[in-house]
Amino acid sequence: MSASKEEMNLTFRRFEEGDHEHEAWDEMIFQSSWSHKCPTYVHRTPPCQGSCPSGEDIRGWLGVVRGMESPSQDMDWKEYAFRRSTDANPFPSVMGRVCPAPCQDGCNRNQVEDFVGINSVEQFIGDNALEQGYTFTANEQDSGKKVAIIGGGPAGLAAAYQLRRKGHACTIFDDHADLGGMMRYGIPGYRTPRDMLNGEIKRILDMGVETRLNMRVGKDVSMDDIDKEFDAVIWALGCKAGRGLPVEGWEGTANCISGVDFLAAFNEGRLQIVAEKVVVVGGGDTSIDVASVARRLGHITSTHTNDRPENVVMGYTAHDVASSMVREGATVTLTSLFPVENMTAAEHEVQDALREGVDIQGSVMPIGLEKDAEGRATGLKMAKCNMVNNRPEVIEGSEYLIKADLIVSAIGQFGDLDGLDGLNNGRNFIDTDNHYQVKDRPGHFAAGDIIRPHLLTTAIGQASIAADSVDTYFKQQEMGKRPKVDVHHFSLLNKLSEVDMAPEEYSHEQVRGTSEAKFAVHNYEDRSSQEVIPADELFLGHFPFTPRHIRSDMPVDASEVLGHFKERMQGLSTEQAQDEAKRCMSCGMCFECDNCVVYCPQDAVQRTPKKDSTTGRYVYTDYDRCIGCHICADVCPTGYIDMGIG
């Protein structure tokens, strides 16, 4: 049965005793010059963080670099930016170089002129940290629990980092001689300089992470033995098996190999030269890496059967470095189902490959192999195609042949689960729930490409959540529901504690009708775990046109690419990094521009006294002066002010 508001006889309390008579809010909220709405300061997640698969507090560390947020005590701002950045991702130097940066695609600054160069600032933070020798610290409180991490790639290392911060012991099992996974064996060293990679891995191991290298679980040690020795397991195996082309005769053809095998042979130092004519099928970052490496390696005119690149890639032989000194350029063709402009590879990597002499052909598909009497492929039959419902359809009459001595398939990867019975979902992956728990295996979790091949940053983000889930499992707590916006958020309470301004302890007595109590943070609302703030909630007119500070690139053209393995990208200087960080619009968080203070006609919005001020608490509202005119919300560049019932 429903009742009218008159029948309900509602009572409430505002600020004064006796002020309890019910009024018709629908008639009183808006008046000609004032309203009962007053500014509320609302923290939301910016789209850069919402787009970041590893969930970094990007706005937070950009705010530190720009000088908006200062560290506590006597920590240097560069170290503070590093601490904030690595709360989510322990590889800022590597990721600042190779991440395709979905954060930049989502940046609201794109609505003004151009995105903030998040990657370049992250590289600056990471490179400086290595130069200064910053270290990580494990939790002093040892939980007594031990976790086996199977796989030492980005997911496994990130999981170890997060678990050590929680006080859990970790042992990484890996079947290689060195850790790094796809960061080492899948990406060429001129994109991830090995001194940088080694430094970022060492920093994690120095937290007290044990390793057992050259050891394969399921072969050298059984799953039962792992379960007996450890309290939980995180499977971070990665995907080291490449998919072959769906054309007749691919399997068993010697010079038809996968992109992951090709790159592993190169990064292990075994592959020194390729064939004269190389065809790479793909369109993603892996295919670009294969093509670019092939252009750098080149070929030699007199090749012994043992020196054929496919024999080296498959591990039968290894190239003699001396014999590869006299080399010539290789003809490299890369094909993609999608048009070149729609390839999934990072645009700057595509442009670099074109400049280096790679012939990229878009909107084409392989339809067959041409072979010689020995059964070796001598060409790849192709046809132009259209994508219909995300599936390629051949355009009749468009067939043609690309001559080839080596054909590389870079169209996808899957896991190698031999000896790991019960984990395989039938497609060579591991199934998990939203907490990355392995189905029907209590205490077993998974992260990274073995769940679904994606970006390095995705594997790192999944590892962070998996570590949270392991911690919850050890505490025998319910997993609960992951937040809608599942990233590392700025916490005002943590910031207040950091600067010794934490709220007083609450007595749990019912106290209402005051904004003076010290046990709560007033007229502040944290919606960061539920909402991402769009550009249309910002005051974009505040931001002038400011060009992006672009990292210096040392492009390599086709005439000099042979044997060129130097890093192409030069990082930003300190001044450039700070200037680039200042382009951040701080979406969803006050960046202390004073607009609300300057434009308030009643002087109701005022700066918080310096002794009480910190990030997120720069201004407050004097409700005795506020008339609810909305001007402060209209002129707030960051969308931090909402008008709520006052």
Asked if residue 79 and residue 68 are part of one domain, the reply reads yes
Regarding whether 329 and 361 lie in a shared domain, the answer is: yes
Helix axes 118-132, 77-85, angle to 10 degrees: 110
Number of domains in the chain: 2
Last residue of a domain, one of 411, 426, 449: 411
Residue 567 is assigned to a structural domain of this protein: no
Q: Is residue 5 pLDDT above 70, yes or no?
A: no
Contact 273, 327 (CB under 8 A): yes
Both 89 and 220 in a single domain?
yes
Taking the C-alpha atoms of residue 30 and residue 483, their distance in angstroms, rounded to an integer, is 35
Nearest-angstrom CA–CA distance, 191 and 569 = 8
Could you tell me if 200 and 77 lie in one domain?
A: yes
Mean pLDDT value of segment 117-123:
97
pLDDT value of position 309 = 81
Picking from 255, 230, 161, 254, the residue whose alpha carbon sits closest to that of residue 201 is 161
- Mind listing the pLDDT tens digit for each residue in 481-503? 999 999 999 999 999 998 888 98
pLDDT category at 326 given cuts 50, 70, 90 is low
Q: What is the pLDDT of residues 398-445, one digit of tens each?
A: 999 999 999 999 999 999 999 998 899 999 999 999 999 999 999 999
Average pLDDT, the chain: 91
Give burial (CB, 10 Å; 0-12/13-18/19+) of 311: middle
Of 469, 485, 501, the last residue of a domain is 485
**Strand 552-553 relative to strand 524-526: parallel, antiparallel, unpaired?**
unpaired
Note the pLDDT tens digit of each residue in 605-628. 999 999 889 999 999 998 889 988
In a domain, 576, yes or no: no
Task: Please state, in angstroms and rounded to a whole number, the distance separating the CA atoms of residues 341 and 347.
Answer: 8
CA distances from 272 to 91, 312, 404 (A): 29, 9, 19
Question: Is the pLDDT assigned to residue 374 strictly greater than 80?
Answer: yes
Q: Cβ(545)–Cβ(169) under 8 Å?
A: no
**Does an H or E element contain 182, and which?**
helix 182-185
Answer whether 378's CB lies under 8 Å from 403's CB.
Answer: yes
pLDDT tier for residue 604 given thresholds of 50, 70 and 90 = very high
Does residue 323 carry a pLDDT above 60? no
Q: In sequence order, which ranges of 447-587 are alpha helices (DSSP H)? A: 456-474, 492-498, 574-581
Confidence of residue 521 (pLDDT cuts 50, 70, 90): confident
Q: Tell me which of 411, 440, 461 is where a domain ends.
A: 411
Does the pLDDT value for residue 459 go beyond 60? yes
Same domain for 229 and 295, yes or no, is no
Average pLDDT of the residues in 358-371 = 97
The reply to whether 217 and 82 lie within a common domain is yes
Per-residue model confidence (pLDDT) at position 274:
94
352 token code pair? 């670099």
pLDDT score, position 305 = 67
Question: Does residue 553 lie within any of the structural domains?
Answer: no
**What single-letter amino acid sits at 409?**
S
Longest Cα–Cα distance in the chain? 101
- Say how far apart CA 420 and CA 50 lie, in whole Å: 35
Measure the CA–CA gap between 353 and 359, rounded to whole angstroms: 8
Q: What are the tokens at 264?
A: 């592993």
Residue type, 94: V
Q: What kind and span of H or E run contains 104? A: helix 102-106
The answer, yes or no, to whether residue 325 has pLDDT greater than 90, is no
**Residues 202, 141: one domain?**
yes
Inside any domain, residue 513: no
Phi, psi of 47 (to 5 degrees): -65, -25
322 pLDDT band (50/70/90 cuts)?
A: very low
**Measured distance CA(334)–CA(461) in Å, rounded:** 31
Residues 6+ apart with CB under 8 A from 16: 513
Q: Could you tell me if 310 and 294 lie in one domain?
A: yes
Do residues 208 and 62 both lie within one domain? yes
Distance of alpha carbon 498 from alpha carbon 56, whole angstroms: 20
More confident residue, 348 or 150: 150
Percent of the chain with pLDDT over 90: 80
> In sequence order, what are the residues at sequence separation of 6 or more whose Cβ sits closer than 8 angstroms to the Cβ of residue 30?
none
Domain that holds residue 247: 242-411
The pLDDT tens digits of the residues spanning 180-215 come to 999 999 999 999 999 999 999 999 999 999 999 999
In a domain, residue 546? The reply is no
Residue 186 counted as domain residue: yes
Give the E-state strand segments of 502-575 in sequence order. 524-526, 552-553, 569-570
Q: Are residues 420 and 274 in the same domain?
A: no
Judgement on whether residues 297 and 381 belong to the same structural domain of the protein: yes
CATH number at residue 288: 3.50.50.60
Task: Taking residues 589-612, report their average pLDDT.
Answer: 94
Q: Are residues 232 and 292 in the same domain?
A: no
Q: What are the distances in angstroms from CA 104 to CA 548, 584, 606?
A: 12, 11, 34
Give the pLDDT score at 13. Answer: 46
pLDDT above 90: residue 9: no
No. of helices (H) and no. of strands (E), the chain? 21, 23
The answer to whether residue 589 is domain-embedded is no
Please check whether residue 172 lies inside any domain of the structure: yes
Residue 502: how many CB atoms within 10 A of its CB?
A: 13
Pull the structure tokens for residue 456. Answer: 């390095």
